[in-house]
Amino acid sequence: MFSVVNFKSVAGLTRLDWTILTIAVLLRIWGLDWKPAHFDEGINGWFVDQMKHLGYYNYDPHHYHGPLHFYVLFVSDALFGRNLWALRLPIALVSCLSVFWMLKYRDFFGQRTSQIAALALAVSPAMVFYGRYSIHEAWQVWFNVMLVWGVLGLWAVGERRHLFAVIAGFTGLILTKETYVIHAGCILLAFGALRLWELIVPSSPAQPWAKPQWTTLDLAKGGAVAGIVLLFFYSGNFLNPTGVSGLWLTFGEWFGQTVSEPKHTKAWDYWLELMAHYEWPALAGLVCGFVFLWPTREPVRFLAILGAGVLAAYTLIPYKTPWCLISILWPFYFVLAAALEEARGRAQPVAILLAGLLIGYSAYLSAGLNFIRFVDFKEPYIYVQTSPEIARLTEPLLESARRDPTYYDVSGAILLESYYPLPWTLGDFSRIGYFGAHETGEGKTDNWPLTLDQDFIVIEKDKVDEMLTRLRGDYLEREFELRDGMKTCVAFFRRDKFPGLETIKKAEAP
């Protein structure tokens, strides 16, 4: 029941709370570096490398994502080194913070409801899978959970901490991704839709807005801090003032991408398909939301409407990538938990069994996806993922450099149009050139060096014959897949520089 009774007495965590958090941490930290770096992770890591040279993150509105993630990655890199584990650790911790913040909703919905919702998020295949990737979406989940917690707190109690949670959550969303406008708009529209529906079917019980226990000065202080934080990050810690204009320029770029980018365009029911495949607790919560159209607690109705509104907004956008799903799912966990809690009074054994089946099956799928099939390209969540076969290129280079640091100075030519995460994975090598293709009046043509005699060369297999006309030297050859959706690639290693590699075939000098 939505109540302020014992509001301050639930601040401590119970044993079950700690168990849920432990599960969340283990699922996100164990084997964190098993998967090869994802395409987007390679880009994010490369940006961090550039920060080391510039001294700040050079925000570009064409990149659509805010600067906070890169500064946190920069700190992780400085503390733990330049490696995949350090690149992913911040997001794993942020994903765990989302679970912790879900438990704080006990202030409004009671302990059992918040625990069921937090456990569903802790084991969700999507939340775990994308909580183990160094991409922005896990930040968005945490800041959304914080923002809505603050809104519900202002509604129920009206304390200063809820005001500051709203300011911090919204500021964090702005620092994370341009899609903050979707979530902020959906919160406002959810209140409007709730008020309209209550004219037809009133809530039972209704929840009046609490008298504010904060002042205009508190709002001004919070707003001032938020403004300074936004200026700091978007201006590149005040070293790149023009970056601030990206706060509004990004929407033109983002809108153009979402409506005109065919590569990631998906059908309208894409999110529902993913939920039906992996996310049964959230899908059940979506269904339960229709039950709450009839008289029930007002805040539960609000979350049901908010979840449906965010789902509808993301459905209307043609541009869809699977990691965006985690920003949609979390309200449905509370709706499901509230429905199970209400059913428990009438049919306790059935409610307990249903909760166990839904969350247990979700945990089963999550374990298989994250620790067994994490590079199985048949899995819908595995999207633009680098293949483990990338090691056929990278291991000879990295192992040689570990044994002899002079190998960091070997020369290389990457003749691929799409080559991430290689610029980050091989970022410690100082003499690698990346040569894709460029547009000319006659269409696409290569911009390769006229003579190819580097210590190693990488190219797509169907372009090898063309490359051999420029190759000078005796090379060993290895085929590999860079990622799903790309053609087979071939790595050529100069024989005298990398002796001992198996010969697939000899690249003869013309």
Question: Residue 25: how many CB atoms within 10 A of its CB?
Answer: 16
Question: Residue 283: how many CB atoms within 10 A of its CB?
Answer: 19
Evaluate whether 151 touches 169 at the Cβ level (below 8 Å): no
The CA distance from 400 to 398, in Å, is 5
The CA distance from 24 to 15, in Å, is 14
The CA distance from 364 to 373, in Å, is 12
Q: What is the mean pLDDT of each run of 10 residues along the chain (510 residues)?
A: 40 88 97 94 95 92 87 96 96 98 95 95 98 96 98 96 98 95 96 92 86 96 97 95 87 65 80 96 94 85 96 93 96 94 74 89 96 93 94 94 95 94 95 74 68 94 90 92 91 91 45
Q: Which residue, 300, 174, 308, is CA-closest to 234?
A: 174
- Coil, helix or strand at residue 320: coil
The length of the chain is 510
Contacts of 345 (CB under 8 A, 6+ apart): none
Residue with tokens 């541009």: 319
The CA distance from 339 to 44, in Å, is 40
Q: What was the pLDDT predicted at 62? A: 79
Q: What was the pLDDT predicted at 448? A: 87
Q: Which two structure tokens, joined as six digits, stand for 212?
A: 């504010």
- Coil, helix or strand at residue 14: coil
For residue 470, the one-letter residue type is R
Beta strand pairing status for 431-434 and 437-440?
unpaired
- Rounded to the nearest angstrom, the gap between the alpha carbon of residue 58 and the centroid of all alpha carbons in its chain is 21
Contacts of 412 (CB under 8 A, 6+ apart): 397, 426, 429, 431, 432, 433, 454, 455, 456, 457, 458
- The pTM of this model reads 0.90
Q: What was the pLDDT predicted at 510? A: 35
Beta strand pairing status for 443-446 and 437-440?
antiparallel
Residue 394 exposed, middle or buried by CB count within 10 Å (0-12, 13-18, 19+) = middle
The CA distance from 95 to 101, in Å, is 10
The CA distance from 414 to 407, in Å, is 17
Evaluate whether 147 touches 137 at the Cβ level (below 8 Å): no
Question: Residue 87: how many CB atoms within 10 A of its CB?
Answer: 26
Q: What was the pLDDT predicted at 437? A: 61
The CA distance from 138 to 317, in Å, is 20
Evaluate whether 133 touches 41 at the Cβ level (below 8 Å): yes
Phi, psi of 38 (to 5 degrees): -75, 160
The CA distance from 373 to 419, in Å, is 24
Evaluate whether 178 touches 251 at the Cβ level (below 8 Å): yes
Q: What was the pLDDT predicted at 220? A: 97
For residue 246, the one-letter residue type is G
- The DSSP 8-state label assigned to residue 503 in this structure reads P
Evaluate whether 369 touches 334 at the Cβ level (below 8 Å): no
Q: Which two structure tokens, joined as six digits, stand for 270?
A: 């894409």
Query: Omega before 421 cis (within 30°)?
Result: yes
Contacts of 14 (CB under 8 A, 6+ apart): 111
Q: What was the pLDDT predicted at 341? A: 85
Q: Which residue, 84, 73, 78, 90, is CA-closest to 33?
A: 84
Residue 207 zone, left/alpha/beta (φ > 0; ψ -120 to 50; rest): beta
